[in-house]
A and B are shown apart, each in its own frame.
Chain A
Amino acid sequence: EAGVVQSPRYKIIEKKQPVAFWCNPISGHNTLYWYLQNLGQGPELLIRYENEEAVDDSQLPKDRFSAERLKGVDSTLKIQPAELGDSAVYLCASSSDGAGTDTQYFGPGTRLTVL
C-alpha cells in the first residue's frame, strides 16, 4: 500500500514569493491533516479536512495561508506571500476517519526555506 505522498520534498524561495505544497493521502482515507513542524518542536496542526470540508482550521493563519481539498482526495497548501518565519517542515497526514483514536499516517514532509 502506498503511503502519504508529498511534493516537493524541498523548496527554497525568497520572501514575499508564493509557494504551494501538494499532498496525496492514502487511498480511502477520508481525513487529511496539514501540520507545521519547526526545528526542535513537535508538529502543530494547521488544518484538518473531512472529505472536502475543512472541519478545523483555527490554527491556519488565514491572511497568508490557504488550503483546498477538491474532490476530497489530494490537497494543496499555499502560502502567499511567504515570510522568513515560515521556514519549517510542512507535514501532511491522513487517517481513515477523524476520530481521536484513529492512527494518523504521515508523509515525509516538505522542508521550506525562505530567504
Chain B
Amino acid sequence: SQQGEEDPQALSIQEGENATMNCSYKTSINNLQWYRQNSGRGLVHLILIRSNEREKHSGRLRVTLDTSKKSSSLLITASRAADTASYFCATVLSGNTPLVFGKGTRLSVIA
C-alpha cells in the first residue's frame, strides 16, 4: 500500500522556472524523504526531513513539511533539463519501519 500521494502527477515547465511538487500522507510519520528517478535508472535519495523539522535546503532543492496538514512540498529552483525525472516522496512511520513510497510526479523540463 502507498501512504504518500504526490501532486501533480505530471508537470511540464521551461528551463529556468521553478518546479513545485506536493506530497500528502495519511498517518503520523518519523520522517519524510524525497527521491528522484531518471528514465531507466535507479532512485537517488535527495533529502530527508524529520517530523520535528519544518524546512530543509540542499542546493537548488527546498523541502517543507507541515505535520498538521500531513503534507510536504519539494521546490526545485532554476530548473534545468537534467532535472527531468520522476520525483517520489517516501515516508517512514517509526524508527525502524520501511520506506513507503508514493506514486510520484513526472517532471519534464523543456530547454
> What is the interface of chain A, defined by CB distance below 8 A to chain B?
4, 33, 40-45, 48, 56, 91, 93, 98-101, 103-109
Q: Are B30 and A91 in contact (CB under 8 A)?
A: no
15 interchain pairs, CB-CB under 8 A: A4-B42, A40-B103, A41-B103, A42-B4, A43-B43, A43-B88, A93-B43, A99-B95, A100-B92, A100-B95, A101-B30, A101-B31, A105-B45, A106-B44, A108-B40
Could you tell me the distance between the alpha carbons of A42 and B1 in the complex, rounded to whole angstroms? 10
If over half of A's interface residues share one DSSP class (helix, strand or loop), that class is named, otherwise mixed; here it is loop
Is B61 an interface residue when CB atoms closer than 8 A count as contact?
Answer: no
Q: Write the chain B residue with the least CB distance to A98.
A: B96
Q: Are A101 and B92 in contact (CB under 8 A)?
A: yes
Q: Write the chain B residue with the least CB distance to A106.
A: B42
Could you tell me the distance between the alpha carbons of A103 and B104 in the complex, rounded to whole angstroms? 19
Is B98 an interface residue when CB atoms closer than 8 A count as contact?
Answer: yes
Q: 17 extra interchain contacts, Cβ-Cβ under 8 A, other than A42-B104, A100-B92?
A: A4-B42, A33-B98, A41-B103, A42-B90, A43-B88, A44-B101, A45-B99, A56-B98, A91-B42, A98-B96, A99-B96, A100-B31, A100-B94, A106-B42, A106-B43, A107-B42, A108-B42
